[in-house]
Structure 1
């Protein structure tokens, strides 16, 4: 019997857990605490081969009750204010340091990868492969000098915004039902950031970006269009999901989409709870394959940053996802593409140097 393909994942927020409890990071990473979605033992248990580890600057606590609105659609959550560079950069550096520490602490089991050859080597040798990703470019000033520094530290993927605004563009609010057409596009600094990412071979992530910003990237970029953790708006009309028009643009650029496991972006009714099994996720995957082809769809779990289906629970539950895909009729070749081959292929098309 052939070995189940390792899953390479388009997005997780594990570094945020380390940021919030740095004194216990060794136990958080190296031991199965049963908390959150990821740690080294559960990655191993579930066949989690690696993924994009996000540097994300958390917003101030919105207070009790705000996120609970997502269980009572319709909703439109207010966006937090922009975070200044002086506040964001030390946090981003701390998170980059945590990722570097994970490599050192893993005793050869975890590696930050800078190119596709390193990713392939890790997947073939049972080493968890990490891409340093930035979700929201608050830590990169408008002069863009810091982008060179973070690239030297290992940064290979960047989203110009999380949902709040930045100096580079505008994200979508958390809203349902709602269109992603929510405001202005990239700023002049955002267009400069895009050009420099193209020049340096840094993937420019479209997840969280509003429709006008998406259109600007599609018009200006010379790289494939990639949304690391987004779903189908036609199935779940959340502002965070991609319309069929956007999917066609991604397809035509030879890009791809990583399916987000967040229940609120999977459920047709937009609620962030319920939908315990894989049915909603399978509907999104079917739709994305129809509109993108089987060569342009992967996974973007949002582990440690979202509520995922109870049947999955955490990274140790990934064999259940593989089984659900098999039971749904996906053959071994398609399963391998979804699990990691499509991510490696799009990164080969996106990275250089």
Structure 2
């Protein structure tokens, strides 16, 4: 079965920024070390998705989840200053524009452009901000990013910001950790609604999730999250949260990170297809046929070995078919449900 996939999250801009920025953009076209590039996308049917701006911490070192042994509670990197975050955000936005200029993809700001890119055989890219650290208190930077094509935003990554609090990488745990959105965070949600920017609930704690659900007039969306009932990780969504998303007509994109998928919370890449399928089954029961999508987190996670790069996406499609999903359900999960929620969020 040949199926094109629209994906809720990747971190390829962070990877390119680390290895040379705009000067390294050409490696995306020719093939690069990582989980997503143009040759891998073509081989696996990756037709588009959310390309995230993410602000790495200052100083040496990284954030490694590869050797976790449950139970765990990973210390988060320190908050980052806004000027530093804004510099990185501009660089990564410029990277996506360079990929567009090189013909590797098409930066899209409405669903008509996504449809056109698909017809042309081009990757359709949405510019997304994962964590609002680049934004100052008057949100002027949001206007500037909007002009650069930003159409999706998560108020937090896992570390706290001036806008709200995320969840740590903690297992076992739920997301009921810390306070809700600050007044600045509430203003950010209202401005995103006014600009028709999608608000991403992935990484947001329970109180912040509830605040967005109360304030926002748009469908509730978690671009790359899983079911807490299957894997009790703080990053995963409880049944109450899934019910709120369902009531709003929202969408959840399945995250491929093994420690979020596995019931034991281990980052073991020897994770069989039955595990992500258990999440998909639960999400379908909670959200219905139109509420489930994919959100790989490529270049920002450790997927199962059989699904650890974009050229292997066909294996997930085959696993869904073998599990009994019909062609219409698979198409909705892989493409159609993202198009529906983007239409409803962005407007005609």
| TMscore range, shorter length | over 0.9
CA distance in 2, matches of 1:318, 1:79: 31
Superposed CA offset, 1:91-117 (max 9, x none):
0000000000001112xx410001011
CA distance in 2, matches of 1:163, 1:53: 18
Match of 1:292 in 2: 287
Offset of 1:60 from its aligned partner? 3.9
Helix, strand or coil: the match of 2:233? coil
CA distance in 2, matches of 1:324, 1:60: 40
Helix, strand or coil: the match of 1:156? strand
**Which of 15, 40, 49 is residue 51 of structure 1 equivalent to?**
49
| Contact 2:58–2:80 (8 Å) recurs in 1 | no
TM-score, normalised via structure 1 length: 0.95
CA distance in 1, matches of 2:9, 2:62: 26
Superposed CA offset, 1:249-270 (max 9, x none):
0000000100000111001100
What aligned pairs does 1:1-353 form with structure 2 within 5 A after superposition? Answer: 4-22=2-20, 25-33=24-32, 35-60=33-58, 63=61, 67-70=65-68, 72-106=69-103, 109-352=104-347
TM-score, normalised via structure 2 length: 0.96
CA distance in 1, matches of 2:247, 2:51: 27
Helix, strand or coil: the match of 1:129? strand
- How many aligned residue pairs are there? 347
Structure 1 unmatched ranges of 5 or more: none
Helix, strand or coil: the match of 1:67? coil
**Shift >3 Å, 4+ stretches:** 60-69
CA distance in 2, matches of 1:124, 1:151: 25
CA distance in 2, matches of 1:63, 1:81: 12
CA distance in 2, matches of 1:322, 1:158: 28
CA distance in 2, matches of 1:26, 1:252: 41
Superposed CA offset, 1:177-224 (max 9, x none):
001000101000000000000000000100000000000000111000
CA distance in 1, matches of 2:343, 2:64: 40
Distance 1:137 1:218, change over 3 A: same
Structure 2 unmatched ranges of 5 or more: none
Offset of 1:144 from its aligned partner? 0.7
CA distance in 2, matches of 1:274, 1:267: 10
